[in-house]
Structure 1
Amino acid sequence: MLLKLNVKRLNRLSWLLAAIVGLIFYVIYLHNGPQKSLYSYTLLSFLGVALIGHVDVALMVLLSKRFSVKSKKFTLYRTLVTYPLSIAIYMLLWPICAYLALFQSPLWTMNLLLAFIGSGILMNTMVTIMHDSVLFYEYKLEADLEVEKLRASNAEAKNMLLKQQIQPHFLFNALNTLKALYNKDTLMADDYIVHMASFLRTAISEQGANLSTLKQELTFLNDYLEMQRMRFGHALQYNIEISEQEQELFSLPSFSLQPLMENALKHNNFTLVSPLIVNIRRVGEWLVISNNLQRKRVNVSSTHSGLANLAERYRLYSGDEVVIKSDENIFSVSIKLLRK
């Protein structure tokens, strides 16, 4: 991953650091140094840090065109160039500040030379550390953004997989049911086709959508349940206890509810005497889907991918968990409603 330099932020940090260092030296000279050179030495400290900072930024921009900011070559060349330049900056600024301060002693001495070398090394190290903190912050932001993109892509891929899983299984059962209905009740078969067409139209038109309104999800689910009711008769009963107004307020990951119904039909026995009763209601910020539990005695093969997929998508979209509860009589799944 390439890291882009935030030049404006780095330069602003250079000016801020220069102002802080200049203020510190001003206070030191004010109490301990010669008053006639107070402003000259303060100016030397301020300009020195500011120039070192801007030179470091300019060099990083040049090096970033050839090397990755995180590469060893970038760090090596930056170090080899900025330290000598930092010392040179102080040595170039010194004659100007000495002239402004009416400096009477020899312009160049060994102690002054050592002081400039030490100042250049110290200030360049400080500037480098501060600039590196900005680079690290920018790198972290980009890394976090990349992780979020990967998580979103993963959620979308799983979402599309779930949608694709719906079609073959659904069509196989739907066509078999339709054939049986036409042999028994043509009017019901016609009604079945209407719901099947609506179901397929929604499934196809919403292929690219990750989120759907609660109303869209319930409409899609209602088509599915009506088709199953025609197939199983009064052995399947369902109640949706959510007002039209409430349905407009919330969203869900697309195709969240239909796999839950399919799961209930797959794992439960239901007859006219002991029907499967499904209830869908809103409890606060949660949508609760429950059914009476009448487990099949014969084990039904299942990968549980639908429920696992839904749970994973909810963690990615909202950070909430899908709450599953089961006792001897009731099985329920609670999913957090997402505010539009």
Structure 2
Amino acid sequence: MVLKLNVKRLNRLSWLLAAIIGLIFYVIYFNNGPRTSLYPYTLLSFLAIALIGHVDVSVMVFLGRSFSIKSRLFTLYRVLVTYPVSILVYLLLWPLCAYLAHYQKEIWSINLFLAFVASGILMNSMVLIMHDSVLLYEHRLQADLEVEKLRASNAEAKNLLLKQQIQPHFLFNALNTLKALYHKNPLSADDYIVHMASFLRTAISKQYTNLSTLNQELEFLNSYLEMQRIRFGQALQCTIEIDEHDKEHFFLPSLSLQPLLENALKHNNFTPSSPLIVHIKKVGDWLVISNNLQKKWVNISSTNSGLANLAERYQLYSGDEILIKNDGGVFSVSIKLLKNEDSHN
């Protein structure tokens, strides 16, 4: 991770620090020094801190072109350059202070010389500490951002992998069904191919899409449903009770509904005289998909492309759980619908 300098924030901090030090100097000098030199000395203090701050920023920008901000060489060269410059700034203030003091002899004493050198060191240390706090803050923000990006990328990759598990399973069943239909009813097989093409086209277009409108999901489900109606006829019945307005104003993770219908077909016995009845309706903010239970006596192997797949994808994307109920007569899955502001599209 490359840490970048926020030059504007560093310069603003330099001006702020200069204003604070200048104000402190003003208050102290106001109570202890001659009023004639109050404003000039305050202005000089303000400009000195501001200049030291901007010098440090300029040095960091220059060194940042050759060294990593977190490297030891960057820190070493920064210290070696900024401290002498800060001392020089305060030594240049010395004659100005002497001028404002009307060239009083005591202004040129060794003690005052050392005081100005110490002031340069002290002020530069304060500037370095304040600027380092900004760098640390920026580093933390950038680190948090990188972590969030990694989490999002991981979730995207996992979500894509889970969606990719759906298609091979579907294709295996669809091609077997198509083969059987061409032997029994070629016209029905032709219709089946049309719906299968529509289904696959939508599935491919949704491969890298996290969310779809409820209407898009229902249209995708309808392609799959028509294929199964050709296959099973009156043995499969499905009703959808959703207002047209809600279809465009709510969202679901892409490829959510088809695996639920496939799951119901896979685990239940059904005939024209004892059909599988599927209801899809909106209840509050939830979409409820239910079917009557006519479970197969033979254990069916699972490929994790149905209910478990959807539960994991939904948890990855929204952080919510799907609700599963089984009262022995009816099996239902409830998915909380996402609103427009939650869509992240």
- TM-score band by shorter chain is 0.7 to 0.9
1:70 is matched with 70
1:146/1:232 CA distance change after superposition, 3 Å: same
- The secondary structure found in structure 1 opposite 2:209 is coil
Query: Normalising to structure 1: TM-score of the pair?
Result: 0.88
Offset of residue 73 of structure 1: 2.4
Query: Any idea what the Cα deviations from partners look like across 1:95-142, whole Å, max 9, x if unmatched?
Result: 223313435243332332332233223322222222122222322332
Once the 2 structures are TM-superposed, how far is the Cα of residue 47 of structure 1 from its aligned partner? 1.5
**Alpha-carbon shift at residue 22 of structure 1 (Å):** 0.6
2:18 is matched with: 18
Partners of 1:13 and 1:34 lie apart in 2 by 30
Q: Please tell me the residue identity of whatever aligns with 2:197.
A: A
Alignment match, 1:328:
327
Cα displacement string for residues 26-67 of structure 1 (whole angstroms, at most 9, x for unaligned residues) = 111112222222123212321221111111101111111111
Decide whether the 8 Å contact of 2:195 with 2:226 is kept in 1: yes
Q: Alpha carbons of 1:176 and 1:87: their partners in 2 closer, same or farther (altered >3 Å)?
A: same
Alpha-carbon RMSD: 2.6
DSSP 3-state at the match of 2:102: coil
Letter in 2 for 1:45: S
Partner of 2:157: 157
In structure 2, the CA distance between the partners of 1:129 and 1:190, relative to structure 1 (3 Å rule), is same
Distance change in 2, residues 1:24/1:31 (3 Å) = same
CA distance in 1 between counterparts of 2:306 and 2:84 reads 63
Q: Partners in 2 of 1:309 and 1:284 — Cα distance?
A: 24
Give % identity: 72
Matching of residue 114 in structure 1 with residue 117 in structure 2? no
CA 1:317–1:171 in structure 2 vs 1: closer, same or farther (change >3 Å)? closer
Q: Is 1:56 matched with 2:56?
A: yes
* Matched residue, 1:337: 338
Structure 1's unaligned 5+ residue stretches are none
Counterpart residue type for residue 128 of structure 1: L
Once the two structures are TM-superposed, the CA of residue 313 in structure 1 deviates from its matched residue by: 4.5
- In the alignment, what sits opposite 1:302? 302
Contact 1:288 1:334 (8 Å CA) reproduced: yes
Superposed, which structure 2 residues align to 1:114-133 within 5 Å? 114-133=114-133
Evaluate the alpha carbon distance shift between residue 328 and residue 81 of structure 1 in structure 2; reply closer, same or farther with a 3 A threshold. same
Counterpart amino acid of residue 288 in structure 1: V
Matches within 5 A, 1:1-340: 1-272=1-272, 274-302=274-302, 304=304, 307=307, 310-311=310-311, 313-315=313-315, 317-318=317-318, 320-329=319-328, 330-339=331-340
Distance in 2 (alpha carbons) for counterparts of 1:31 and 1:311: 72
Residue type of the partner of 1:322?
A: E
- C-alpha change, 1:77 and 1:265, in structure 2 (3 Å) is farther
Cα distance in 1, alignment partners of residues 291 and 103 from structure 2: 92
Q: Check conservation: 1:11, 1:57, Cα contact below 8 A.
A: yes
Q: For 1:331, what is the secondary structure of its paired residue?
A: strand
Find the aligned partners of 2:150 and 2:307 in 1 and give their Cα distance. Answer: 21
- Deviation by residue 1:235-291 (Cα, 9 ceiling, x = unmatched): 333222212222112333322222233233334444455543332222333333333
SS at match of 2:108: coil
The answer to whether the 8 Å contact 1:163/1:203 transfers is no
Q: How far apart, CA to CA, are the structure 2 residues paired with 1:146 and 1:26?
A: 44
- Provide the rounded CA distance (Å) in 2 between the counterparts of 1:18 and 1:310: 58
For this pair of structures, how many residues does the alignment match? 339
